[in-house]
Amino acid sequence: MSEDILEQVTQSEYKYGFTTDVETEIVPPGLSEDIVRLISQKKNEPEWLLEFRLKAYRHWAKMKMPNWAYLKIPEIDYQSISYYAAPKKKNLNSLDEVDPELLKTFDKLGIPLEEQKILSGVAVDAVMDSVSVKTTFKKELAERGIIFCSFSEAVQEYPDLVKQYMASVVPYDDNFFAALNSAVFSDGSFVYIPKGVRCPMELSTYFRINAINTGQFERTLIVADDDSYVSYLEGCTAPMRDENQLHAAIVEIVAMNNAEVKYSTVQNWYPGDKKGRGGIYNFVTKRGICKGKNSRISWTQVETGSAITWKYPSCILKGDNSSAEFYSVAVTNNHQQADTGTKMIHLGKNTSSHILSKGISAGLSQNSYRGLVYVGKEAENARNFSQCDSMLLSDRCGAHTFPYMEVNNDSAVVEHEATTSKISEDQIFYCNQRGIPTEEAVGLIVNGYAKEVLNKLPMEFAVEAQKLLQITLEGSVG
Amino acid sequence: MLEIKNLHADVNGREILKGLNLQVNAGEIHAIMGPNGAGKSTLASVLAGNPAFEVTEGEITFLGKDFMELAPEERAAEGFFLSFQYPVEIPGVSMVNFLRTAMNEQRKYRGQEPIPASDFLRLMKEKKELVEMQSNLTNRSVNEGFSGGEKKRSEIFQMAMLEPRLAVLDETDSGLDIDALRIVANGVNKLASPERAIIVITHYQRLLDYIVPDFVHVLFDGRIVKSGNKDLALRLESEGYDWIKKELE
């Protein structure tokens, strides 16, 4: 296969790159205590939350951005970013009150709220820029005692729950971006599943950045009480902009005794153009804690977007017999960079974790897996199996693996396997000979390679993810 | 159906085919034999449009179309099929998904609608029986972990599904035990028809006991130097290629 065909298949088009003309309320760019106070005031927050934000801000102001990742990050001017943007109309009771332009946006994204409500049984919370627009199915969920609402609403309606669990997994001073988020977070989703309740439907949040020069700093908090179960999905898109936009979110998951939380995300923020201009910086802290006995958390992620992805969805296995999984497909193309992986912190007895990471690099991109498996002194019989595969679609891209292990208990069994492969010309020619053009062949082969992870996604997401993989790599091999 | 005139082809700058001529009509079965390095597999690859080979001179016409103008996938959609000597594995892609994609891409090229799922499954069942393919092979990933015999059988099964006008079987008999050889050959014979031509590339006469050719050609140093009927294959089997070399001197 010749070089130029390889180049062709790496030319993808980003189909979510539209903007929506809705009136937006934006605070002026810059970050200061005044801005933090302004955000808190706009959201009518209680005093304790303002104090939390200010504590985080003061801590952040003393911190420096870390530089240990295998990423080239242009200098970010935190004073040029606007930290709050919201579509102007707010506090809506029904879809009729939502700006029709906004609804059109969600239609374009393929999540018509009304239809989704009826057909798919997926409850959706759509977050545009910083404000949660609409949560479907709220009533049906409420009958079972399930809370699924925007974070701001949770602060007003369920302050005790928020106060109890917020920052219990990711403290405000955890890292540079966590501190930033804790100071300026605007909205996000809140989920609480009461004791003994199995959430009957997938809960889904759709994040979208729309306004120019804004950062998006949402917070998601999922709490699964004893003997409960929930599957939560998150999707993300953004319009095409020449400038980079910052996305620094926090996701916290708490699983109590015998609880299970499945968290899946298809991340498709705007990746920048073919020359590497624009795109989202996706610097996110995601962490779950298996707090109770026999609890279980799984992270499944399909990462195709963002100019730079920097995140490690992690699990603290504190409860005895708890288990955690991390399934990831990360695709980078053109000038995209990713440094992503997971941390499995084994603290309880008889805990187990499974890591399956599939990296796919094309174009001039750099794709790194970075993972930590930690086994504490008291963690008798900890088990971990990690498998990290990389696939290269061009000879100018890079794939890197940085596995770290720290084992402090002799009874632990920790295994690590890694492979690197190049998509072979023979495979593509074989497909060609059967009548399959090169682009479709690449899509087929890549989807086959990522299948083990895609199979972990809920059905409707899996189909979307498969298409996404193909679109992302369109024009990248041939 | 297929006409090859004065074909010259290089791989890595080395000339392998040096003025090859061949004509194949519908309904015919041709066997191409020859010593190692004569250019047999190169011919198969060039016909399929493998970009690793460069055609420097000559013409290939297939059903009235200039083959050189067509990409490999277009040649396939025009009705050309190659049974590979070494079929590659494609992990994670099921044979069902692979074949349905292939079939629908070919149909798209020909301006046809995609095949309905139920028709496709019925067709699979029918063709599996035809070539005595174990049913579980189609649920596995394409060629992954297949034995040599299973790979070859899977090639013939794909041929049965895609129903080409011309099929080239590149050393389909290599690595097969006698039972597998019989099953593969039976499959090929069932697929022979007055509209379809088959070219069998082989080292050994034994395959031709099962698939009886109308014509046998000897490929030597990049050219077809002798053609005859099936008796030619028998003579090659007993006497080797030395007498042909002598004739050429």
Put simply, whether B91 touches A (Cβ < 8 Å) is yes
Give the pLDDT band of residue A116 (cuts 50, 70, 90).
very low
Which one of B50, B77, B90 has the shortest CB-CB distance to A435? Answer: B77
CA end-to-end span of chain A: 6
H/E stretch holding A4 reads helix A3-8
Q: Convert the pLDDT of each residue in A194-229 to its tens digit.
A: 999 999 888 877 766 655 556 678 899 999 999 999
Backbone angles phi, psi at B58, to 5 degrees: 105, 180
pLDDT-flagged residues of chain B (< 50): none
What residues in A contact B77, CB-CB < 8 Å?
435
Put simply, whether A435 touches B (Cβ < 8 Å) is yes
Q: What is the ipTM of this complex?
A: 0.95
pLDDT at A6 over 50: no
Nearest-CA residue of chain A relative to B141? Answer: A448
Give the pLDDT band of residue A243 (cuts 50, 70, 90).
low
Shortest Cα distance, chain A CAs vs residue B136, angstroms: 18
Closest by CA to A315, choosing from A289, A349, A295, A341, is: A289
Count of residues in chain B: 249
Q: Convert the pLDDT of each residue in B202-225 to its tens digit.
A: 888 888 888 999 999 999 999 999
Tokens of A190: 């809140």
What residues in A contact B88, CB-CB < 8 Å?
424, 426-427, 430
Q: Please report the pLDDT score of residue A10 as a whole number.
A: 41
Which one of A2, A447, A448 has the shortest CB-CB distance to B51? Answer: A2
Between CA A156 and CA A44 the distance in angstroms is 8
Q: Convert the pLDDT of each residue in A250-291 to its tens digit.
A: 999 999 999 999 999 888 777 888 887 888 888 999 999 999
DSSP state of B135: G
Q: Please report the pLDDT score of residue A92 as a whole number.
A: 44
Say if CB A218 and CB A443 are below 8 A apart. no
Shortest Cα distance, chain A CAs vs residue B135, angstroms: 21
Helices (H), chain B: 40-48, 72-78, 95-109, 117-130, 148-162, 178-191, 206-210, 230-239, 242-248
